[in-house]
Amino acid sequence: MKRFAILFTVFLLPLASMAQSGNDHEIQIEINKNIELLGIGYFIGFEGVDIENKTVVVDGRTIPKMEWHSYGYDIYKKFGHFAQSEHLNKAFGVADHLWLDYLSAFLLQLADVPNAKITDSLDVGYYINFSKEKNKEEALRNARIFLDGLNAFSEEINLDLYMKTSNPFYERAKEEVFINVSNKGFVETMEKFYKHAFSSYHLVPSLTIPKGMGFGIKIKDNIYSVFGAVDFQDFENESNLNMGFTHKEKLNELTIHEFGHSFINPIVAKQPEALFQASEHLFPTLKQAMNDQGYNTWRVCLYEHFVRAGEIFIAEKISNPESAERLKIEYITKRNFKYIPVILDELYRYDRGEYEKYDDVVANVLLILSKM
């Protein structure tokens, strides 16, 4: 199988919802069968390869990778012999240049496998990248090949049986998210600050997407956070399950981060190309640190700077100064997002009413960076 690019109702579990304090919207918590299949394919084809001989660093401690990705390792043991599946290779063969966030946005809009197919209502933007040349006919052809492969792969591994037998694990995962995503009105705070509200907000926890991965996705006027577990798991005893979604601080920060992309990215994206070019001279000193985190262009690096600065600011606004300070250290000092202080200064000015729109903040930050 080619290496898959990362950064990262036949059977549908019932949805849960959680009211945000002071907000008309509810956060929907849901499991998506297509996402779980994508995660299985990715884990057995890439993440799980040689997992027994690898280590990872978690909270400053080096541990065996199979211990950290315990549920994923169990998936690998169950399905690893399908890694050379003709159907899986057919699917990933036309998608090995795509990121998991793009594929997730595509799959979220389709019927569940093995009946996933492109309909006339699907905007071409959600599959155009299946063609490296952005050719619509080629993209549609490749996207259909991808889906044909995934549909057949889901039947080959008997995904329905896996979802049925794993139902207690998924129910517990949803319960953990419901309990641990704070009801402190951060969605309302984000709406007021960015002066925009979306129609709906969705959390899509996954047991097969590797830990530490999360994707902020905007579909029409609805936003999604698709994410793997954030903490250690214990699923041996079904009467005392821990599926890795119990770390409240990490879970809330991840949610604000991924939702933040949908508020922020479109505004950053529409800025004049000249502003990006004028500030791009700053990228070389950050390039290695950004590449190591999966951000390999200046534009993507800027998206992450703005989103992470927004995380810090929102944490302060919802009276969580400890989280804000820890995020500053993590992002600015440890992960080298060195221009976050510049953005924060302008966010404080925006909050005081010195800017009319968040768009103006972005434009001025890019102008400031261009002169540094």
pLDDT at 249 over 60: yes
pLDDT at 341 over 60: yes
Q: Which of 127-131, 290-294, 301-305 has the lowest mean pLDDT?
A: 290-294
pLDDT at 354 over 90: yes
pLDDT at 163 over 60: yes
pLDDT of residue 321: 87
pLDDT at 3 over 80: no
pLDDT digits (tens, 9 = 90+) for 325-334: 999 999 999 9
Average pLDDT of the residues in 286-299: 92
Average pLDDT of the residues in 175-192: 86
pLDDT of residue 207: 98
Average pLDDT of the residues in 239-261: 92
- Give the Cα separation of 368 and 372 in Å (integer): 7
Q: How confident is the model at residue 183 (pLDDT cuts 50, 70, 90)?
A: low
pLDDT of residue 153: 98
Average pLDDT of the residues in 185-212: 93
Q: How many residues does the chain have?
A: 372
pLDDT at 73 over 90: yes
- Give the Cα separation of 107 and 111 in Å (integer): 8
Q: Which of 2-11, 98-107, 130-139, 164-173 has the lowest mean pLDDT?
A: 2-11
pLDDT digits (tens, 9 = 90+) for 31-65: 999 999 999 999 999 999 999 999 999 988 999 99
Average pLDDT of the residues in 177-204: 89
pLDDT of residue 60: 86
Q: Measure CA 182 to chain center.
A: 19
Taking CA atoms, 110 is separated from 48, 202, 234, 347, in Å, by 27, 16, 32, 38
Q: Cα angle vertex 27, ends 22, 30, to 5°? A: 165
Q: How confident is the model at residue 151 (pLDDT cuts 50, 70, 90)?
A: very high
- Give the Cα separation of 52 and 168 in Å (integer): 27
pLDDT above 90 covers a percentage of the chain that reads 84
Q: Which of 65-69, 103-107, 287-291, 316-320 has the lowest mean pLDDT?
A: 316-320
Residue 9 CB-density burial (10 A; 0-12 exposed, 13-18 middle, 19+ buried): exposed
**Mean model confidence pLDDT for the chain:** 91
pLDDT of residue 184: 58
Q: How confident is the model at residue 6 (pLDDT cuts 50, 70, 90)?
A: very low
User: What is the three-class DSSP state of 315?
Assistant: helix
pLDDT of residue 123: 94
Q: Do 225 and 202 touch, CB atoms closer than 8 A?
A: yes
pLDDT of residue 25: 63
Average pLDDT of the residues in 195-211: 95
Residue 44 CB-density burial (10 A; 0-12 exposed, 13-18 middle, 19+ buried): buried
pLDDT at 251 over 70: yes
pLDDT of residue 12: 31
β pairing state of 26-29 and 16-19: antiparallel
pLDDT digits (tens, 9 = 90+) for 90-128: 999 999 999 999 999 999 999 999 999 999 999 999 999
pLDDT at 18 over 60: no
pLDDT at 228 over 50: yes
- Give the Cα separation of 24 and 54 in Å (integer): 46
